Amino acid sequence: MTQRRNAEPVVSSAHLAEGAAPALSEMEFGLILAGQSFQRWISRCMAAAGMPGLSPTEILVLHTVRHRDRPKRLADILLVLDIEDAHIARYAVRKLAAAGLVKTGRAGKEQLVQATPAGAALCARYAEVREALLAQAVRDTGPDGARLSELAALLRTLSGYYNQAARSAATL
């Protein structure tokens, strides 16, 4: 890896780095790149696992529903994935159900979503592709598990700041 010659942050928008926290703008640029790369990765990984054409949201919903092999309430899917618009998740669930990857039911007024055997098998194939193409490379040359966990905790903390700032901005 080459070292930068100057101490200026790498940002996508210099005007956003002029304020009180230029490092925040640098981190935001990193989030932009990581977010785009992650979405591209999960789409291509799912295609390699045998299901091309799913959107990143649909893939995330499927993995969330598959988590711990228990039915999930739609409200819990929204909460876990921090999806604000319920119709986005409902559309994803409908598309996954039409593909035979999830099934829906009711518990009182709550809609429940559960992975079908086909959905669970697809998630298993995805995990195999992920292990072979991504996890091995990260293990061999990337940050260690402790560092990744530390970064994950930092991202979750920052998401709280952004959610609070979004609530504040909505009141302006």
Q: 141 lies in a domain?
A: yes
Residue 12 has a pLDDT of 78
Q: 128 lies in a domain?
A: yes
Global pTM exceeds 0.75: yes
The residue range of the domain holding 78 is 22-166
Q: 149 lies in a domain?
A: yes
How many domains does the chain contain in total? 1
- Name every residue whose Cβ is closer than 8 Å to that of residue 102 and which is 6 or more positions away in sequence: 62, 65, 93, 96, 113, 114, 115, 116, 119
Phi-psi sector, 53: left (phi>0), alpha (psi -120 to 50), beta: left
CATH classification at residue 28: 1.10.10.10
Q: 3 lies in a domain?
A: no
Helix, strand and coil content of the chain, in percent to the nearest 5, comes to 65, 10, 25
Q: 9 lies in a domain?
A: no
Q: 154 lies in a domain?
A: yes
Unique residue bearing structure tokens 């989030």: 31
Residue 11 has a pLDDT of 80
Instruction: List average pLDDT for each run of 10 residues in the chain, which is 172 residues long.
Output: 62 81 89 96 98 98 97 96 96 98 94 97 98 96 96 96 96 96
Residue 22 has a pLDDT of 82
Q: 35 lies in a domain?
A: yes
Q: 12 lies in a domain?
A: no
* C-alpha of 5 from chain center: 33
Residue 6 has a pLDDT of 61
DSSP annotation of 132:
I
Contact 95, 46 (CB under 8 A): no
Residue 21: Cβ within 10 Å count: 11
From CA 107, how far away is CA 114, in angstroms rounded?
12
From CA 54, how far away is CA 42, in angstroms rounded?
9
From CA 129, how far away is CA 124, in angstroms rounded?
9
